Amino acid sequence: MALSPTSRKNIPDEERLIVALDLPDASAARAMVDRLGDSVRFYKVGLELFMAGGYFDFVEWLVGQDKRVFCDLKFFDISATVAAAVKRLAGRGVSFTTIHGNDAIMEAAASVDRGDLKVLAVTVLTSLDRGDLDDLGFRCDVHDLVLSRARRALELGCDGVVSSGLEARALRESLDHRLLVVTPGIRPVDNRVEDDQKRVMTPARAFENGADYIVVGRPIRNAADPRQAAEAIQAEIAGVFR
């Protein structure tokens, strides 16, 4: 009998939900954090807030609020530059960061002294489907590309990957539980909002498929009551791991 792909890592249930703060500025992001209160312990801050200014002041504020932080900046440059960027980010109290790129970039990012900072390699963005990969010149199947990139990331010293829940089960079957799997593109069952995410999954199904963490943005951020929406997802997570 095959072992369950459900995450076995010792992660507090309430930290498995990462809320994406894709908001126009740090003031709006702080207001959302205050509104969510203790319903959320982990936040993702990405390029939109980075370009708004005050990014690292906001990161420091989040850490000071006893929140975990995922700096989703998807570093992609020559390997020495990516390594230097990861090294600079270490020591700021950040938990996760993301990198793109080839073997040399992944290896360089993983090789620096980074303390508790976990390096996640992006496999295939959840906004991309088969047609998009054709446009980019990738002739292999999405599933095969994700597995290939995840396997290389693990071999080169990365801590985990960002991957759709659609591929999480295959990652567990192929690479067992050594790799952290962070899954974006999460949509509650009753969410019917059209957006740019094409490869999506419900919170419970993502965890049942093997995700360690899920990233949720719009279904919480755009809800009539964001805290209530976050609490509903937290309850769903608790139901999976109870």
Q: What is the pLDDT of residues 62-111, one digit of tens each?
A: 999 999 999 999 999 999 999 999 999 998 999 999 998 789 999 999 99
Task: Check if the beta carbon of residue 183 is closer than 8 Å to that of residue 214.
Answer: yes
Q: What is the pLDDT of residues 108-141, one digit of tens each?
A: 999 999 999 999 998 754 444 445 444 445 555 6
Average pLDDT over the chain reads 86
Per-residue pLDDT at 7: 84
The domain segmentation of the chain, as residue ranges, is 13-234
Per-residue pLDDT, averaged over 24-31, amounts to: 97
pTM, entire model: 0.88
Per-residue pLDDT at 31: 98
CATH of 13-234, one of 1.10.569.10, 3.20.20.70, 3.30.300.280, 2.10.60.10: 3.20.20.70
Residue 192 tokens read as 């019917």
Catalytic residues: 74
